[in-house]
Structure 1
């Protein structure tokens, strides 16, 4: 924490190495060196040299991969039964789950073949890939409190955390929180999409903000070294249900950033 500079974004900061602080040696050092990693984490090419070039992916293509092929479904009843689902895939599934109409999509594209990119996510028999899908259930006093989900690749956890805090800490209704402007960063490796390593390259300092952000805030962020981009609606799109146990009611919320809606009967 003492290394954090609150006056300047550390765009050159690379992945952390917790092993020295634990009195141990990183077991992957030799693996990384042998596969051509640049071990100086202050440099942008902290990735396999054999497959990394300048990231020329157009911004619209980059963001299109975040949103395409995913949707979300939240459902609950008066007895307290609740499900949160994030169907995803972007292609026709091979089969349907019984009579549910739910397609059994698969995400094998989320595996990697190069262990230097992620040694824990290399394709193997019987293995599940690491995915970005984040259907969420929050409990309070042992009962359902919030059910929420969103599409958007690596932005899912970012948006759902902001949504949860807006309800739990800042007093918004579930609809207000669903529509509230969020901010997203793409400073981490993109988890899916593209055809080569460069397509998933991080964008240090890149941050997506709402057009409603004040000019004074924009200028402060620029001084800190951030590369700003803006959108008219940056609220997800989130779908959610809030359980009001005090009044025996369910509150539904759907973002205005997409074709989302709620149904009650």
Structure 2
């Protein structure tokens, strides 16, 4: 089968990320004697530099970690709502939704502490060696990718009239960075240099210095600058200037934590995801909604498009794609009604939502025609409750359209309006090393268009609170000390109890849709060169639906919509339209930005692949 690149194979180490410089950084760390976790941390900090429109140090990062011979764990780098971030406070300001930008939307920053926790507990190299790569790119510059300048251009007016510190960094000479132009961030380089200098005073021990760096972030000069930024009145998507709620106690009192993954066994695989504070269980429920008798033999033969390009999937026929889309709608409706860290009465019924009995009943709702309804279920007999805004959007009593489709910006990039409103996007990195350590991580938030750049630091606050509801009593209500439900959803899969596959993608609400198709393509295809066909699964034409309320401001939806790549066969698009789907055909390479690494436990052979969409994701390895 034709693919854009080969699936890489070797025995030393593999890394895949959404930017080639991050992937090469990870490989450099492996070559320098570091393990997968050293490599992921170094690459993560490089992503903060080279993809500032997609993530930053004051954002967040969930990760699924599988140490060689140890249990799979989820590292939660999603910060909580500050103590002053109550529904009452926001509604008293006349708000019906949390703004999509500005300090009111900022949760306690989580990414930095998560990376430090991972390095302390699972890494082997010093903080100085790991941070050195990011410092170098920030200080000496890196060639800007096209999307950086395009994103800046969309918020040029906001930067020039309101966010002067952002304009100083991202509009040098009054123009956005041109593709390939050297982009520097000397303030960020100076921040990390000062962090290293102050942490070195803690003593010679590796862990001592990492712990000292965490204290500097939470209680030192970085904390001081973040708090000052939160207290500064800032124009946001509401069209007004607001101050944030972040306090010193919020910063000092939060740290990244570990927890058990939510898992689902399917067709010999065990898929591991973060809990219902993420959207991760939605992928598991999409698997649970598949037919009980599904096997490779039950699927249609592999096909090709009219131009001879392989479909990349043995099940890209209209009937099966229809089932996947309708299952996605049901899983995402349950996400809206049940997922969140605030819990609500009785908590989140994850076990019931993934149970065979529940999903047999849900599967029966999938008919021959596309549904335009938002249909959450009743696990354990409990009545679902949708947020009033989501219910109004779903019933047509509120605007249903909005900046949901990422095609206009390309490959899942953020769609940005005048005041910085964005559908959101992110980065991803997967690493596996020769010892069998594996990680899947999805850093995000703290985008350059989230908040004004903190001039002393070189990066802005994040906006993850925009994903909460200003309505009490919901699982995802804005609640002090609770995590906003996030779309960030890294994945790791086992066979016979052994970690085999780490994967993930940017894309906001599309992440677990694109990952579903990728995983099925991997799990149900023949092996290639003795290994999983990662590149073929990534290259396969993909799709997504917006038939549920979006997770980002302004929380829009498009009932019945399906967006497919133009490489999808005419038979599939016609078949979907005949079944009542509103099919929008996007560019040939517009759906998904997947990364993946794999390891065969029997042979030790490692594999990696990366998405060609967006022209910047790369896999490295040997």
TM-score, scaled relative to structure 1: 0.75
**Unmatched runs of 5 consecutive residues or more in structure 2:** 1-362, 416-421, 455-459, 527-531
CA distance in 1, matches of 2:563, 2:384: 36
CA distance in 1, matches of 2:490, 2:435: 20
Structure 2 residue 594 is the aligned partner of structure 1 residue 238: yes
Give the direction of change, closer, same or farther, for the CA distance of 1:76–1:203 in structure 2 (3 Å limit).
Answer: same
Give the direction of change, closer, same or farther, for the CA distance of 1:249–1:104 in structure 2 (3 Å limit).
Answer: farther
Structure 2 residue 495 is the aligned partner of structure 1 residue 128: no
- Within a 5 Å distance, the mapping from 1:67-216 to structure 2 comes to 68-89=424-445, 90-91=447-448, 107-115=464-472, 119-171=474-526, 173-192=533-552, 194=553, 199-216=554-571
Q: CA deviation at 1:221?
A: 1.7
Q: CA deviation at 1:57?
A: 4.9
- 1:4 pairs with one of 366, 376, 380: 366
CA distance in 2, matches of 1:147, 1:262: 13
Give 2:21's aligned residue: none
Q: CA deviation at 1:28?
A: 5.1
Give 2:621's aligned residue: 264
Structure 2 residue 594 is the aligned partner of structure 1 residue 248: no
CA distance in 2, matches of 1:124, 1:79: 42
Alpha-carbon contact 1:178-1:235 (below 8 Å) kept: no
- Within a 5 Å distance, the mapping from 1:56-67 to structure 2 comes to 57=403, 60=408, 64-65=414-415
Q: Secondary structure at the match of 1:70?
A: coil
Q: CA deviation at 1:153?
A: 0.4
Q: CA deviation at 1:44?
A: 2.5
Give 1:223's aligned residue: 578
Alpha-carbon contact 2:596-2:609 (below 8 Å) kept: yes
Q: CA deviation at 1:15?
A: 2.3
- 2:395 pairs with one of 35, 38, 44: 44
Q: Secondary structure at the match of 2:541?
A: coil
Q: CA deviation at 1:58?
A: 8.1
Q: CA deviation at 1:237?
A: 0.5
CA distance in 2, matches of 1:237, 1:3: 31
Q: Deviations over 1:89-141 (max 9, x none)?
A: 1248999xxxxxxx9966222222124xx811112221111000011111112
- Determine which structure has greater relative contact order: mean sequence separation of CA pairs < 8 Å that are 6+ residues apart, divided by chain length: 2
Alpha-carbon contact 1:179-1:235 (below 8 Å) kept: no
Give 1:99's aligned residue: none
Q: Deviations over 1:169-225 (max 9, x none)?
A: 123601111211111111111011x3xxxx322211110112122223322222222
Give the direction of change, closer, same or farther, for the CA distance of 1:187–1:56 in structure 2 (3 Å limit).
Answer: closer
CA distance in 1, matches of 2:571, 2:540: 20
CA distance in 2, matches of 1:86, 1:108: 18
CA distance in 1, matches of 2:409, 2:611: 23
Give the direction of change, closer, same or farther, for the CA distance of 1:261–1:37 in structure 2 (3 Å limit).
Answer: closer
> When the two structures are aligned, how many residues end up with a matched partner?
235
Give 2:45's aligned residue: none
**Unmatched runs of 5 consecutive residues or more in structure 1:** 96-102
CA distance in 2, matches of 1:85, 1:178: 17
CA distance in 1, matches of 2:478, 2:365: 36
Give the direction of change, closer, same or farther, for the CA distance of 1:240–1:248 in structure 2 (3 Å limit).
Answer: same
Structure number with the higher helix fraction is 2
CA distance in 1, matches of 2:432, 2:423: 25
Q: Deviations over 1:27-60 (max 9, x none)?
A: 859x96xx9966xx9x733xxx5xx235365854
Alpha-carbon contact 2:370-2:579 (below 8 Å) kept: yes
Structure 2 residue 399 is the aligned partner of structure 1 residue 53: yes
Q: Secondary structure at the match of 1:251?
A: strand
Alpha-carbon contact 1:235-1:256 (below 8 Å) kept: no
CA distance in 2, matches of 1:183, 1:228: 10
Q: Secondary structure at the match of 1:147?
A: strand
